[in-house]
Amino acid sequence: MSFDTPPRRNPALDEARHTFHKAMDKYETGFITWEYKKQLLELKWFLDEALPKCSTYAGEPEWIAEQKTDQALRKIERS
């Protein structure tokens, strides 16, 4: 029996980033960019509801803490 290895790239995140860039397109009308923003909001609301229902895994709290640290460092680097 073979197991699929998890993908390194996250296609859902790639799609969300793509939608974000379309929502921020300064050459597009507000009618269009608003539709993209609504898609991002729907995704956020879905994730806000779905994630608490998912199981917790060994090492998850440490991984989350590491991700938060990385995000904070990136934010500091950009400022």
Summarised one tens digit per residue, pLDDT across range 5-25 is 666 788 999 999 999 999 999
| C-beta neighbour count of 40 within 10 angstroms | 14
- Three-point CA angle 51, 56, 59, nearest 5°: 120
Give the start-end residues of each E strand in the chain: none
Summarised one tens digit per residue, pLDDT across range 28-56 is 999 999 999 999 999 999 999 999 999 99
Round to whole Å and give the CA distance between 69 and 60: 14
Q: What pTM value is reported for the model?
A: 0.78
Give how far the C-alpha of residue 12 lies from the chain's centroid of Cα atoms, to the nearest Å. Answer: 7
